[in-house]
Chain A
Amino acid sequence: EVQLLESGGGLVQPGGSLRLSCAASGFTFNSYGMYWVRQAPGKGLEWVSGISAGGSSTHFADSVKGRFTTSRDTSKNTLYLQMNSLRADDTAAYYCAKEGSGWWIDSWGQGTLVTVSP
């Protein structure tokens, strides 16, 4: 069974940094691309970033480009999202997600809440 467990969320001041982690299990981690998707309170889904199975290719939403980076550690089966220069509009639940046989998402974590506030 695929399991994705996010951690690292919390309260951070505007301009601050936070690193989210996603521990993956139940599948061959280095065979699948991975994503981060966020959802602001009461709002819709926003795709944030993606990283290829081997980690050599990353992509970002325009809203986070230049501020967020993503990486993966195959030895730890863990996905990361480094978030810098955080703003109030980055406040959201952040979901780690696994790609299916195409680029669609077939598994999601439970989400971790990031709150950016003074």
Chain B
Amino acid sequence: IQLTQSPSSLSASVGDRVTITCRASQGISSYLAWYQQKPGKAPKVLIYAASTLQSGVPSRFSGSGSGTDFTLTISSLQPEDFATYYCQQLNTYPLTFGPGTKVDIK
């Protein structure tokens, strides 16, 4: 299963609402996770099962979608949110990642 993400990068300001899209090449129900990775660090999970917020993750992060189209939304971008975001499908092995979306400062 192939995943595409759009945009590949974006520039935004603190306080902006940011939306990242992940599209699967075939239906994956709600078997999708979102990760955040900062430079030089391991990724960390934000959302799993498409819309379930991982414990400890700020509520400004939210996920939605099912089937083939999914969205990660940051309701009000904070300075610590500048990072790269990846989706991962968990429906079928191999458990592929999307190519990533880099969010940087405008």
Instruction: Point out residues on A near B: beta carbons under 8 Å.
Output: 35, 37, 44-47, 50, 59-62, 95, 100, 102-106, 108-111
Interchain CB contact under 8 A, A105 and B45:
yes
Most chain A CB neighbours (cut-off 10 Å) among B45, B48, B94: B94
B90 on interface, CB distance cutoff 8 Å: yes
Size band of the interface chain B makes with A: 20 to 34
> Residue B86 contacts which of A45, A100, A110 (CB distance < 8 angstroms)?
A45
B105 on interface, CB distance cutoff 8 Å: no
Chain A residue numbers with a CB within 8 Å of B67 are none
Q: Mark B85-99, 1 if CB is under 8 A from A, else 0.
A: 010101001111111
Interchain CB contact under 8 A, B43 and A100:
no
DSSP class of B's interface residues: helix, strand, loop or mixed? loop
B60 on interface, CB distance cutoff 8 Å: no
Question: Whole-angstrom distance between the alpha carbons of A44 and B35 in the complex?
Answer: 12
> Which B residue's beta carbon lies closest to that of A105?
B45
Chain A residue numbers with a CB within 8 Å of B48 are 100, 102, 104
Interchain CB contact under 8 A, B88 and A104:
yes
Chain A residue numbers with a CB within 8 Å of B86 are 44-45
Known: A102-B48, A104-B49. 20 other contacts (CB 8 A): A37-B97, A44-B84, A44-B100, A45-B35, A45-B37, A45-B88, A45-B97, A47-B94, A47-B95, A59-B94, A59-B95, A60-B94, A61-B94, A102-B90, A103-B31, A104-B45, A104-B48, A104-B88, A105-B88, A106-B54
